Structure 1
Amino acid sequence: MPTLQSYGWNAHFMRHFETNTTQHLEAARVLSIQGFKHLLITATGNADAQLSGALMNSREPEDYPKVGDWVLAKRYDAEGIIIDTLPRINALSRKAPGTQSTRQVLAANIDAAFIVQGLDRDFNLMRLQRYLQQIVQCNIRPVVILNKADLVPDPETYRQTVQELGYNCPVVLTSALQPSQDEWARQYLLPQHTYILLGSSGVGKSTLLNSLLGYRLQEEGATSTANNKGKHTTTARHLVLLPNGSMIIDVPGMREFGVTDEGAGDGVYHPQIDALAPQCRFGDCTHQHEPGCAITAAVRSGELPEPVYRSYLKLLREQYHFQASEADKKRNIKQLTKLVKQVVKHRKNNKY
């Protein structure tokens, strides 16, 4: 039977577990979530559990346990109760789909994220840069997987295009239907490390995962003869242990992957922009219209590709919008709390 160490238990989690003063709680990792049911791996095997009422009432939904989290659970006869979550090493989040600026945490405690794009019709540089932007800001190492390389005449040009973005991350060309993918798996999938598969529907994530596992965890979607796109097959996030001892979290295909302000400070992180920014005349340069801006000069000279610059500005606007909406939400909550206190005080004073 795999041990907790097999699922990524390390000194960070042990240190926080030992400071817990509540007795008779055991450590467990969240493998999947279906509705209110959380499937956990414990020192004695799998167990189903639900969140305690106290945990749900004291946390925002984004702070509820997610796939990959380590939790403290109390075991009962048929089902356990999750009492608390151990501090995360990191968490991968995105702006929740829709118009409101709400952060959605996808998974936690991840060593690297595999961004999968298909070279048939899914390749989209702007979408890829959005993934890279958010993943890096969440303190997670990105690896780009360009799948279906056998369907294009010159796949190497796609790899070069990605590398020109400047994120200095591995870019792998592969085909999920060919055994050559085993080479990249041996290089990037390390035992007791946790990875996450990200990408749109139909890029071949389930086929890749099934090949790594050696059996079909997910049914592979049929491919349309009209557009060469696979159908959506994954319906929920789940963490699985691979034969080589590494772990991978499969995520349903995402149509939207909006950026948040996760770890961003005052702006969007981009390696090429950050390298040139110290040369700007003004320390608070927005890299848009100021005289002496090294960024706009690099765009004019061709040193910085214009599509990369336009993408940077778009991500920057999205981030500022998210920050503004978050501030509005917090201000509204503060005003509502103040109003509730005033009503309670008024009722108490008037005794009704």
Structure 2
Amino acid sequence: MTSLDQYGWLRYRHSCTSIEIPRDLTIGRIVSIKGFKYYTVTEEGELECDLSGRLLYLPSTDHPKTGDWVTLTVYDRAGYIISVLPRYNELSRRNPGAATERQLLAANIDAAFIVQGLDRDFNVMRLERYLVQLAACNIPANIVLNKTDLVDDTLPYLDAVQALGRGVPVLFCSTHTGVGMRALQDELLLPGHTYVLIGSSGVGKSSLLNALLHQEQQATATTSGSNQKGRHTTTTRDLFRLPNGSLLIDTPGMREFGVTGGEATSEDLFPVISSLAASCRFTDCQHLDEQGCAVLAALHNGSLSEAVYDSYLKLKKEMRRFEIDVSDKKRLNKQFGKIAREAKNHRKKYKY
């Protein structure tokens, strides 16, 4: 027998209080997806599940993702997922290669750990891209700077992160020497809470997971010696229960992490810009060339980093482009639907 509370059920019900579960259905949580099979933990243990007919025809964003809570029916030892319960948040990114589509990576996450390696992987602008998208997804962030054994001084890396002005916790660690692992396990990972590891290939996410599990659960590989780029080792998104009772989702490496924005404004996603914007002369200031812009004034006097400002402009433009593309797609679909209906009515009217 498995207690669903061990997999975050109490935490989930605290966030989603108005859910009613039919008595004849079983509750489960998605812990892994392999192809068209969904591996779901229930009070009876883990089940291999398929989607019910209705779910098959829904958009892929409505299909179960790792971390989702679902209802299912059980026949013998096979499960059939009936519905996906409401999510209190979703980790998403722009679907690589598709300008207007979101790709959902996981659901119902209490916090994310952005992992970067202190070798050639460290990139503060890529780090900010992760932070912006996590803020848009309403997921608190932590930063893990791994492989501290490869550098002599960590202070420059800390200064670079703090220059972003986001106040995000930063942990330096090394699975090779054990530095920072105790703090990660005892202070940042809370029992019953669900976390996700995100980052590029080769930053050491799988090694971190193995160290936290105290066993070799995920395959690892060394960084390519020829180009210093990480090699893909994790190929699926899996949820693991750690010895301290916390839950951790490991994800494949992501070299591309397109932002999508969301209901939050671009200023809300950039706290440094937001705090300066309060002093702008105009409330609708775009911080480009307006008179009385406090953001530009801070940029000119050096109190605002040029790198932070450039990142703000770049990501704001990317989010705006995504919103416009989505809007255009909806408009075109609506127009096409109208044309299709008119053509159908025309055929009916002049049928002979």
2:73 counterpart letter in structure 1: K
2:231 counterpart letter in structure 1: K
Q: CA deviation at 1:323?
A: 0.2
- The answer (yes or no) to whether the contact 2:149–2:176 under 8 Å persists in 1 is no
Give unmatched runs, 5+ long, in structure 1. Answer: none
Q: How does 1:1-352 map to 2 (within 5 A)?
A: 1-10=1-10, 11-12=13-14, 15-18=17-20, 20=21, 22-57=22-57, 59-180=58-179, 181-226=181-226, 230-265=230-265, 269-351=269-351
Q: CA deviation at 1:262?
A: 2.1
- The answer (yes or no) to whether the contact 1:17–1:27 under 8 Å persists in 2 is no
- SS for the counterpart of 2:113 is strand
Q: TM-score, normalised by structure 2?
A: 0.94
Query: Distance in 1 between the 2:129 and 2:242 partners?
Result: 28
Q: 1:268 to 1:319 in 2, by over 3 A?
A: farther
- SS for the counterpart of 1:50 is strand
Query: Distance in 2 between the 1:327 and 1:2 partners?
Result: 45
- SS for the counterpart of 2:75 is coil
1:178 counterpart letter in structure 2: T
2:249 counterpart letter in structure 1: I
Query: Distance in 1 between the 2:154 and 2:327 partners?
Result: 44
Q: CA deviation at 1:74?
A: 1.2
Deviates more, 1:341-350 or 1:202-211: 341-350
Q: CA deviation at 1:241?
A: 0.5
- The answer (yes or no) to whether the contact 1:16–1:86 under 8 Å persists in 2 is no
Q: CA deviation at 1:349?
A: 3.1
Query: Distance in 1 between the 2:64 and 2:228 partners?
Result: 37
* C-alpha distance after superposition, 1:237-278 (max 9, x if no partner): 111111110000001000110110223246561110011111
- The answer (yes or no) to whether the contact 2:165–2:271 under 8 Å persists in 1 is yes
* C-alpha distance after superposition, 1:66-121 (max 9, x if no partner): 11011111112342111111111111111111142211111000011000000110
1:53 counterpart letter in structure 2: G
Query: Distance in 1 between the 2:241 and 2:2 partners?
Result: 9
Q: CA deviation at 1:211?
A: 0.5
Q: TM-score, normalised by structure 1?
A: 0.94
Query: Distance in 2 between the 1:322 and 1:148 partners?
Result: 35
Q: 1:14 to 1:304 in 2, by over 3 A?
A: closer
Give the length in aligned residue pairs: 349
CA RMSD of aligned residues (A): 1.7
Query: Distance in 2 between the 1:209 and 1:338 partners?
Result: 51
Query: Distance in 2 between the 1:222 and 1:334 partners?
Result: 50
Q: CA deviation at 1:228?
A: 5.3
* C-alpha distance after superposition, 1:134-170 (max 9, x if no partner): 1012111100000011111211220121012111110
Q: CA deviation at 1:63?
A: 2.0
* Identical amino acids, percent of aligned pairs: 50
- The answer (yes or no) to whether the contact 1:143–1:171 under 8 Å persists in 2 is yes
Give unmatched runs, 5+ long, in structure 2. Answer: none
Q: 1:275 to 1:209 in 2, by over 3 A?
A: same
